[in-house]
A and B are shown apart, each in its own frame.
Chain A
Amino acid sequence: MAVTTETTVMNNVEAVRTTLYEALKNDSRTLIMGEDVGPRGNVFLITKGFLDEFGPQRVLDTPLAEASIVGIAVGMAMEGLRPIAEIQFADFIFPAFNQIVGEAAKTRYRSNGDFTCPLVIRTPYGGGVRGSLSHSISVEALFYHVPGLKIVAPSTPADMKGLLNAAIDDPDPVLYLEHKKTYRLIKGEVPGGHYTIPIGKAAVRREGHQLTVVSYGLNVHQALEAANQLEADEALKVEVIDLRSIRPMDKQTILASVRKTRKLMIIHEDNKFGGIGAEISAMVAEEALFDLDAPICRLCGPDVPPMGYALPLEEEFMISTERMKQRMREMVKF
Chain B
Amino acid sequence: MAKAPSAHAPAPAAAAAPHHELSKEQLRAIFRSMLLQRTVDNRGFQLNRQGKIPFAAGSEGHEAVQAGTGMAFQRGRDLLFPYYRDVGLCMASGFPTIEVFYSLFARAKDNGGGRQFPSHLTKKSAGIYSFSSIIAGHMTHAVGAAYALKYRNEHDRVAICTFGEGATSEGEWHEAMNFAGVQRLPIVFVCENNQWAISTPQEKQMAVKDVAIKAAGYGMEGVIIDGFDPIAVYDAVTTAREKAVSGGGPTLIEAKCYRFLSHTTDDDDRTYRSKEEVESHRKDDPVPRFERWLVEHGIVSPADVEALKKDVLREVNECTDAAEAEPYPQASELYTNLVEGAWEPWQ
- State whether the Cβ of A188 lies closer than 8 Å to any Cβ in chain B: no
Cβ contact within 8 Å between A112 and B113: yes
**Docked complex: B103-157 residues within 8 A CB-CB of A:** 110-113, 115-116, 120, 122-124, 129-130, 132, 134, 137, 139-151
Q: A147 vs B151: C-alpha distance in the bound complex, in angstroms?
A: 31
* From A65, A74, A83, A114, contact of B175 by CB (8 A): A65
Tell me whether A249 and B344 are in contact in the complex, defined as CB-CB below 8 angstroms, given that A111-B112, A114-B111, A115-B129 are known contacts: yes
CA distance A252 to B143 in the complex (A): 42
Question: For the complex, what is the distance from the CA of A252 to the CA of B346, rounded to whole Å?
Answer: 8
Of all chain B residues, the one with the shortest Cβ separation from A57 is: B151
- What per-residue 1/0 map shows which CB atoms of A69-104 lie under 8 Å from chain B? 011111111111101000000000001001100110
Query: Are A171 and B340 in contact (CB-based, < 8 A)?
Result: yes
12 contacts between A and B (CB under 8 A): A71-B144, A72-B147, A72-B176, A76-B147, A79-B144, A98-B134, A99-B137, A102-B134, A110-B116, A111-B130, A116-B340, A148-B338
Chain A hits for B113, CB < 8 A: 112
Contact B141 A75 (CB under 8 A): yes
Interface residues of A in 209-260 (CB under 8 A from B): 247-249, 251-252
Question: Which residues of B sit under 8 angstroms from A200, Cβ to Cβ?
Answer: 344
Q: 1/0 per position for B47-72, CB-CB distance to A under 8 A?
A: 00000000000000000000000000
Q: CA of A171 to CA of B140 in the docked complex: distance in angstroms?
A: 20
A98 and B137 form a contact (CB under 8 A): yes
Chain B positions within 8 Å of A76 at CB level: 144-145, 147-148, 151
Q: A111–B140 contact, CB under 8 A?
A: no
Q: Which of B132, B143, B172, B178 contacts A110 (CB 8 A)?
A: B132
Which residues of chain A have C-beta atoms less than 8 A from B142's C-beta? 75
- Given A78-B141, A148-B339, A115 and B130 contact (CB-CB distance below 8 Å): yes
Tell whether A132 is near chain B: CB-to-CB under 8 Å: no
Q: In the bound complex, do residue B141 and residue A108 qualify as a contact, i.e. CB atoms below 8 Å apart?
A: no
Query: A249 CA to B336 CA in the complex, in Å?
Result: 19
Instruction: Determine if A108 and B175 form an interchain contact, defined as CB atoms under 8 angstroms apart.
Output: no
Q: Please determine whether B143 and A72 come into contact, CB atoms closer than 8 angstroms.
A: yes
Lowest 3 CB-CB distances: which A-B pairs, in order?
A75-B144, A71-B140, A112-B113
Question: A65-B178, A67-B175, A75-B140 given as contacts; is B115 within 8 A of A110 (CB)?
Answer: yes
Contacts of B176 in A (CB 8 A): 68, 71-72
Bound: A125/B22 CA distance, A: 57
Contact A114 B123 (CB under 8 A): yes
Q: How far is the CA of A76 from the CA of B149 in the complex (A)?
A: 9
CB-CB < 8 A to A112: which residues of B? 110-113, 115, 122, 336-337
Task: Let me know if A273 is at the binding interface, CB within 8 A.
Answer: no
Shortest distance between the CB of B106 and any CB in chain A (Å): 12
Inter-subunit contact B346/A79 (CB<8 Å) = no
| Residue A113, interface by CB 8 Å | yes
Q: Is A151's beta carbon under 8 Å from chain B?
A: no
B132 engages A74 (CB within 8 Å): no
